[in-house]
Structure 1
Amino acid sequence: DQVVEFQRRKIVSLIQRHPLDDNSPEVKIAQYTVRIRNNLHRFTKIDKYDAPRKIVQETLKNRRAKLLKDLFYQDRDRYDYVIKLLGITHEVPKMGVKYLKPTRKGELRRLTAEYCDRLKEERLTEYHEELKRKQETLTEEEEKIKQLIAQESKYLGTQNPPTEK
């Protein structure tokens, strides 16, 4: 525990703007990073199935990502400095793109829409195949009817010579 505290103080002292700086976004990002790395160490070395700690880990990552995003839009130089010093990777969302947090209701709507689209597509393809099969029989019947008309016309002597256009 003393080692963790020493690491935290060391990293925070590198990031701080002045000795009394405890509440700037850079310091908070550094503190979150230390906690994330310690949790990660716990997952890899001690207990990888620690569910409550995984929830805490995700919360810490989300908070740090929010601070990084805000810092990116406020001051790019400080953002680059913090990223480089802490050795973390962060992908900044594109401007104007709205990222919606998945919700149960929203996911149900999305899944229902996907299911309906897939069902509609399947039924359309089935109907298309059925129409193709019917078309084949219809063309056969059409040929038979044309031959029958030609035979009847020949028999009755009413056959007109084909006119070419």
Structure 2
Amino acid sequence: MSIFGRLAGIRTVAPVICSSQPRRCKVVDVKDVVQWKFVEKPSPHTASYSGDLGINEPVDLTQPQFAVKPALDVLNRSDEVTQRVLSLEFARGVEKTKYLEERAVARIQRHRFDTESPEAKIARLTVKIREFQRRLMTPEGAKEGGPMRRHVHNMTWRRSGLLRQLRAADYRRFEWVLDQVEVIYRPPLPPGTDTTLTRKSGIRRMVKIFCDNIRQEKLDSLRRQAGRREAGVRARTPRRRRVDRGGGARAGPAT
């Protein structure tokens, strides 16, 4: 017989308390007490899986492109049309993502030349992950999102490793970085942990917990009854005076 057939035959007694009637009991099926709720496993490319709480800030399209930044004084003397053509408004998506990476790194870098610390790498990976997640939500990204999804999954694992490294080195800075980039850190599970969600295994675990609770309640009730019975026996037992070695008298139970 399967687990579902055995569960159908399990019945237990649950107390029902009513304000107008004395306490009574009725038979309740286990399926009315133990309920299965399906938990959908998040996709590796979604924000709920990666732990990203925030989104990338909007890009200032009036900023110049990175290729013309060395000649910024010449660009400022040029006409308005040239400045607009060489701005981020007409730049590729890679240029806009690079601009967001620089803004994110500038908030948490240790000094102005810090580009390879764990904090700077975490900031850059966070911007890339959120940008790919935004593209996957568009119809164009959903069509050709296979490699992009794998890329997001790999970057999420790389960022998790950097966060674990920073957590072991400096926990206070680790908490500060999480607050700055708005990310939830989930530590890795121990090796060999089974995270597969199945109906049968979930019902078995819930039934085990339910039966353990019933067993513990009955044991507690028996202990309370035994304590009251022992207290009653002690109260009814007469006590008499005994003579100790020093010649005095003391009270003791009658034989």
Cα deviation code 1:21-57 (max 9, x no counterpart) = 1110000111110110110011012322410111111
Q: Larger relative CO (CA 8 A, sep 6+): 1 or 2?
A: 2
Alignment of structure 1 residues 99-114 onto 2, 5 Å: 99=191
Answer yes or no: is 1:82 the counterpart of 2:177: yes
Superposed, 1:1-165 pairs within 5 Å as: 1=93, 2-45=95-138, 46-49=140-143, 50-93=145-188, 98-99=190-191
**C-alpha deviations, 1:49-90, integer Å up to 9, x for none?**
410111111100000001111111111111111100000111
Gaps (5+ residues) in structure 2? 1-92, 195-200, 202-255
Q: Which amino acid aligns with 1:15?
A: I
Distance of 1:101 and 1:31 partners within structure 2 = 31
Higher helix share: 1
- For 1:51 and 1:100, locate their aligned partners in 2 and report how far apart those are by CA, in whole Å: 28
CA gap 1:12/1:58 in 2 versus in 1, 3 angstroms: same
Change (3 A) 1:66 1:101: farther
Return the letter of the residue paired with 2:190: K
Q: What is the percentage of aligned positions where both structures have the same residue? A: 27
Question: Which stretches of structure 1, 4 residues or longer, exceed 2 Å deviation after superposition?
Answer: 97-102
Distance in 2 between residues matched to 1:32 and 1:21, nearest whole Å:
15
Bigger-Rg structure (1/2):
1
Give CA-to-partner distance per residue, 1:66-122, whole Å, 9 cap, x none. Answer: 1111111111111111100000111124xxx633599xxxxxxxxxxx9xxxxxxxx
Once residues 192 and 120 of structure 2 are traced to their aligned partners in structure 1, the CA distance between those partners, rounded to angstroms, is 28
Cα deviation, residue 13, structure 1 = 0.6
TM-score, scaled to structure 2: 0.37
**Structure 1 length-normalised TM:** 0.55
- For the residues of structure 2 that align with 1:16 and 1:70, how far apart are their CA atoms? 16
Higher strand share: 2
Q: Which amino acid aligns with 1:88?
A: V
The aligned residue for residue 245 of structure 2 is none
Q: Take 1:74 and 1:92, find their aligned partners in 2: how far apart are those partners? A: 15
